[in-house]
Amino acid sequence: MSEVVFENVTKIYSGKTTIIPKINLRLPANELTVFVGPSGCGKSTLLKLIAGLEETTDGKITIGGRDVTYAPPAKRGIAMVFQSYALYPHMTVFENMAFALQIAKSSKEEIRNRVSEVARILQLGPLLDRKPRQLSGGQRQRVAIGRALVRNPDVFLLDEPLSNLDAALRVDMRIEIAKIRQSLNATMVYVTHDQVEAMTLADNIVVLRAGVVEQMGPPLEIYHKPVNKFVAGFLGSPSMNFIEAKIESVQGDIVQIGGEGFAKTLAAKVKPGAFKSGDRALLGIRPEHLSIESDGELQFVTSLQEQLGDHALIYGSVGASKCTIKTSPTRAFKAGESLSLKVQADEVHVFDASEKNVVVFEAR
Amino acid sequence: MLWLFVIVVSAFSLFPFYWAIVSSLKDPSTMFQVEYWPSALEWSNYSSIFKEQPFGKNIWNSILVATSTVLLCLFVGVLAAYSLARVEFRGRGLLLALILAVSMFPQVAVLSGMFELVKSMGLYNSWGGLTLSYMIFTLPFTIWLLTTFMRQLPRELEQAAIVDGASSWTVLYRVFLPLMGPSLVTTGLLSFIAAWNEFLFALTFTLTADARTVPVAIGLISGASSFESPWGRIMAASVIVTVPLVVLVLIFQKSIVSGLTAGAVKE
């Protein structure tokens, strides 16, 4: 039961560069939490703060209720898998995995048992006598995970563990990590910029921007109920369409959205007082929630089409805004063709001037 | 054409050594006849240098001084490089520049001060005084070379070891040192050669024949009378002291090259 809690944690580099302004975060015990965000958003820094590889400037970090803010890394009950694997090049796979136990002065027999047990789980048995340079990328990755598992950590930290692998291997390792996760009784924290990894592995996703938590929640909640334009645009591929629009009329909490490229107005339920008639707004709609149907709300002009076999992507514009549609395989369209798009009403997002999502989700 | 150039350059740099070998095998009476090939092999020069002076003791002194210089230098150098490459502290750049500046003074400039220092520490006329003073020129490049090399070791490697519970000391000797082989060999060998060949300090800080190192001993070889120049014996002694260096360089040749170019290009 090792919940990781950040209380008012601040991280400032060399007295001036603020990486983490002030963060409060609770990572549930025995769940896998993924930190996502663009590069430089502080996700790796947060991980290193948990690990103790970076000093906390201010605030408190607890693991399982124990204050570890100033504890050395080895005393925190954590293990970490690094982006570059960071295997000790001059040691064999066995020695790599045994290193932590040797330092902790475990008995020879205990070390052998523990390493061979982990090696069995990760199918590393035949590789134990090899040096890291004799291993493939996927094998090195498994050794790095093994080295962390051997320590039997309460909190398991992974820093972009798959980013050095090629695409095919990455899918395999992702599934492998998901399997390990099921058999492991530990809190896991996983940093990535790959949204597929985030969506598939996470119990909870934390979306970060410039050291600030934009949103935290289960993957599908983040996907379906993004709180602002940044989160909405960050998760999902292709990313969400943002269409410049205008509030045509307001009746209670129902607004009618229209503007350039709208064939007719679109109704949405928003938070009371979010808009008044004539305000500018941003309509957010994912490519898979648009369909080509006559009598739709949007006028779409095609420019390019990609056929991917199981589905097709059509790029074009609505009014002055770029727009992408994801459909089932369809006939080829000429560039410049005008299509009518129907919007799936319960997947509409409306962003106000401060880019907050003001749509009322409870109505769905 | 290029080969011709190579041959000329090699001949130019190897000829003095060859000439020394030829001269060392000549009888003193035929010393000043120009011969490019030794006509008769005369080994008396080699035996006489060991008989007429404590040359064996001198060689032993040189080995002692050069080896202790290398060991001490690598020990201090590795520790200094670790802190200079891995620990962030104020004035790190200044300290590195100062270390480099130490090696810029000509030996003569520090000679008298060094003499007082060595004497006050009671190390005059002993190998300890030489070892200590040789650190002046071996430490700066050792520290610089090792610092540069250590900076290139991935930071994540160190972090992984720290997470595994390693102390700074453990990181250094169980993770970094095994990876630094080539650079240790290179700096160690360069220090060894510098200490082995050094003349000025060795001349100044020793008094008796028993305490001298080889370069001084060779410089002070004298003939039976003041009218005789003992070239044959000087050459024989020079050949003897060059051989260990050649052997060392040949043994470590591969590591030197990889050490000197380490980090020149990104792998």
* CATH code of the domain containing B140: 1.10.3720.10
Q: What is the CATH number of domain A241-363?
A: 2.40.50.140
- Cα–Cα distance between B240 and B45 in angstroms, integer? 11
> Has residue A92 got a pLDDT over 60?
yes
- Domains in chain A: boundaries: 4-234, 241-363
Q: What total number of domains does chain B contain?
A: 1
Average pLDDT over residues A217-226: 93
> Has residue B256 got a pLDDT over 70?
no
Q: What confidence score (pLDDT) does residue A221 get?
A: 92
pLDDT one-digit tens code per residue, B122-144: 888 888 888 888 888 888 889 98
Average pLDDT over residues A254-272: 90
Please tell me the total number of residues recorded for chain A in this structure.
Answer: 364
Q: How far is B188 from chain A, CA to nearest CA, in Å?
A: 21
Is residue B249 assigned to a domain?
yes
Peptide bond connecting A238 to the previous residue in cis, omega within 30 degrees of 0: yes
**Pairwise pLDDT comparison (B258 vs B186), residue with the higher score:** B186
Is residue B147 assigned to a domain?
yes
Share of chain B above pLDDT 90, in %: 11
CA dihedral for A144, A147, A152, A155, sign (positive or negative): negative
Average pLDDT over residues B244-262: 74
CA dihedral for A338, A343, A348, A352, sign (positive or negative): positive
Is residue B42 assigned to a domain?
no
Q: What is the CATH number of domain A4-234?
A: 3.40.50.300
- Token reading at A106: 């475990």
- Cα–Cα distance between B206 and A165 in angstroms, integer? 63
Q: What confidence score (pLDDT) does residue B226 get?
A: 62
Q: What confidence score (pLDDT) does residue B264 get?
A: 44
Domain that holds residue B150: 54-260
Chain A, nearest residue to B167 by Cα:
A103
Please tell me the total number of residues recorded for chain B in this structure.
Answer: 267
CA angle A117, A121, A124 (to 5 degrees): 85
Q: What confidence score (pLDDT) does residue B257 get?
A: 65
Does the ipTM exceed 0.90? no
Residues with Cβ < 8 Å from B155, sequence gap 6 or more? none
A27 closest CA partner among A156, A129, A114, A124:
A156
> Has residue A363 got a pLDDT over 80?
no
> Has residue A279 got a pLDDT over 70?
yes
Residues of chain B with Cβ-Cβ distance to A104 below 8 Å are 165
Q: Check if the beta carbon of residue A309 is closer than 8 Å to that of residue A271.
A: no
A193 closest CA partner among A217, A162, A149:
A162
Q: What confidence score (pLDDT) does residue B267 get?
A: 37
Q: What confidence score (pLDDT) does residue A325 get?
A: 93
Average pLDDT over residues A260-271: 89
Minimum mean pLDDT range among A17-26, A287-296, B209-218, B251-260: B251-260
Interchain CB distance below 8 Å, B164 and A78: no
User: What are the residues of chain A with a beta carbon less than 8 Å away from any beta carbon of chain B?
Assistant: 48, 51, 53, 72-74, 78-80, 82-84, 86-90, 99-100, 103-104, 147, 151
Minimum mean pLDDT range among A30-44, A226-240, B238-252: B238-252
> Has residue B31 got a pLDDT over 70?
no
Of B161, B163, B178, the CB nearest to A90: B178
**Pairwise pLDDT comparison (B260 vs A90), residue with the higher score:** A90
Residue B259 pLDDT level (bands cut at 50, 70, 90): low
Chain B, nearest residue to A54 by Cα:
B159
Task: Tell me how far the alpha carbon of residue B162 is from its chain's centroid.
Answer: 36
Is residue B9 assigned to a domain?
no
Residues of chain A with Cβ-Cβ distance to B165 below 8 Å are 73-74, 100, 103-104
- Cα–Cα distance between A71 and A87 in angstroms, integer? 24
Q: What confidence score (pLDDT) does residue B233 get?
A: 79
Q: Check if the beta carbon of residue A190 is closer than 8 Å to that of residue A204.
A: no
Q: What confidence score (pLDDT) does residue A252 get?
A: 84
- Cα–Cα distance between A57 and A18 in angstroms, integer? 10
Residues of chain A with Cβ-Cβ distance to B178 below 8 Å are 90
A322 closest CA partner among A300, A295, A350, A296:
A300
Q: Check if the beta carbon of residue B146 is closer than 8 Å to that of residue B78.
A: yes
Residue B225 pLDDT level (bands cut at 50, 70, 90): low
Residue A236 pLDDT level (bands cut at 50, 70, 90): confident
**Pairwise pLDDT comparison (B21 vs B224), residue with the higher score:** B21
pLDDT one-digit tens code per residue, B145-193: 899 888 888 888 889 999 988 888 898 888 888 888 888 888 898 899 8
